[in-house]
Amino acid sequence: MNPKFSSMVLRDARRVVVKVGSSLVTNDGRGLDEQAIGEWCRQLAHLIRDGREVIMVSSGAIAEGMKRLGWTSRPKAVQELQAAAAVGQMGLAQMYETKLRANGLGSAQVLLTHADLADRERYLNARSTLLTLLKLGVVPVINENDTVVNDEIKFGDNDTLGALVANLVEADALVILTDQKGLFTADPRKDPSATFVSEASAGDAKLELMAGGAGSSIGRGGMLTKILAAKRAAGSGASTVIAWGREPDALIRLTQGDAIGTLLIAQTQKNQARKQWMADHLQMRGAVIVDAGAATKVLEEGKSLLPIGMVQVEGDFSRGDVIAVRDEAGQEIARGLANYASAEARLLCRKPSSEFERLLGYAAEPEMLHRDNLVLSR
């Protein structure tokens, strides 16, 4: 990709996930780095004023918890690390809340697990909560829910979680801030011929070799987990930048088109990636049949599918399952993620959203399939 074009990747990114690692957040374990966190929050405010949406994925709970508990070396027992995370998370959330507020921004704590994002219903729930927070202009600050799982404790330091969040909200870019300038062709401390990689294609197998080899053991949050995170983020069309977290104004400059760190470019477009994802879910669990008015709205006007346009519900499906949308002649017009399970959908057929609460006992989304979770079949 030529430099002029690659500089536009971050400049054009509207929705950005920023991930910061433990060593940066806690100044190498010395304790929460108030100044650094304040700096990132100031930059996030700048991005938001610029019309972008940002999500922060921050580690540091274990490192801060260890300090609060007076532990000088990292315990081996995973349950002790989980306990430290629970202690440290209090400080982490408090610090982000204070610093974001000082910059005029609201904040929200979100603790997620990989399993939450693999489960369709929780995936949809997490997605709609995060998108609602973004709409409200609030910055979600995400960490792994270390009490119940320990994927990121064992390896990753939230690199994978950052990518999963980028997939979840279909971010345009994932920025991984770390204590290194980016990726080198080899470890520069061991190999003097190592050169800096300023740009590559995310998912290029050579990158994994540069970062220590696919066969080597994956260190917690080493360069390899970042390369793999970039590959995963690219799956939903997000490009990744790996950059030094203390680089002055790194986030602002990246969105102005400056080449900072290593840019790993996603080769698939966002909507193409979404289509592929839906296509991979060939096993559809059901269908809704819609009237001509709803079919036109979905096919020609780019609208979501509302229950009022549904005439029939087929099959047995849960919230989050992929279902088909068919017209009354039986032609498939779209596929998407169902907001309502089949039993609820049957109750909502032909009904306006003003009646949903009375029919279901709770008020939820007005759409059966939201436009963002839907791809046209023709």
Residues that bind ligand GLU (CB under 6 A): 22, 59-63, 85, 143-144, 146, 152-153, 157-158, 220
CB of 238 to ligand GLU, least distance (A): 21
Query: Hey, what are 234's tokens?
Result: 């690219």
Query: Hey, what are 47's tokens?
Result: 């991005």
Task: Name residues whose C-beta falls within 8 Å of residue 187's C-beta, 6 or more positions apart in sequence.
Answer: 194, 212
List residues bridging with 322 in a β-sheet: 337
Is 27 annotated as contributing to ligand binding?
A: no
CB of 261 to ligand GLU, least distance (A): 21
Is 157 annotated as contributing to ligand binding?
A: no
CB of 149 to ligand GLU, least distance (A): 10
Cβ-based nearer residue to ligand GLU, 54 or 63: 63
> What residue type is 190 in one-letter code?
K
Polymer length of the chain: 378
Is 125 annotated as contributing to ligand binding?
A: no
Cβ-based nearer residue to ligand GLU, 40 or 356: 40
Report the sign of the C-alpha dihedral through residues 116, 122, 127, 129, in that order: negative
Query: Hey, what are 78's tokens?
Result: 């995973």
Cβ-based nearer residue to ligand GLU, 151 or 249: 151
Report the sign of the C-alpha dihedral through residues 280, 285, 289, 290, in that order: negative
> What residue type is 280 in one-letter code?
D
Q: What's the CA angle centered on 41, arms 35 and 44, to 5 degrees? A: 145
Contact in structure between 80 and 41 (CB atoms under 8 Å): no
The β-bridge relationship of strands 199-201 and 196-197 is unpaired
CB of 143 to ligand GLU, least distance (A): 5
CB of 246 to ligand GLU, least distance (A): 19
At 128, phi and psi to the nearest 5? -70, -30
Is 19 annotated as contributing to ligand binding?
A: yes
CB of 113 to ligand GLU, least distance (A): 10
Q: How many CB atoms lie within 10 A of CB 127?
A: 21
Cβ-based nearer residue to ligand GLU, 62 or 289: 62
Cβ-based nearer residue to ligand GLU, 62 or 211: 62
Alpha-helical segments (H) within the chain: 3-11, 22-25, 34-49, 61-69, 78-102, 114-118, 120-135, 151-154, 159-168, 205-210, 223-234, 250-255, 270-280, 292-300, 342-348, 356-360
Cβ-based nearer residue to ligand GLU, 60 or 237: 60
Is 179 annotated as contributing to ligand binding?
A: yes
Q: Which of 84, 53, 57 is nearest to 68 (CA)?
A: 84
Contact in structure between 65 and 86 (CB atoms under 8 Å): yes
CB of 155 to ligand GLU, least distance (A): 9
Is 321 annotated as contributing to ligand binding?
A: no
Cβ-based nearer residue to ligand GLU, 32 or 265: 32
* Pairwise CA distance, residues 211 & 207, whole Å: 6
CB of 158 to ligand GLU, least distance (A): 5
Cβ-based nearer residue to ligand GLU, 143 or 236: 143
Cβ-based nearer residue to ligand GLU, 24 or 313: 24
The residue behind tokens 């879910």 is 281
CB of 111 to ligand GLU, least distance (A): 9
Which residue ranges are tagged as binding site for ATP? 19, 178-179
The binding site for substrate comprises 59, 146, 158
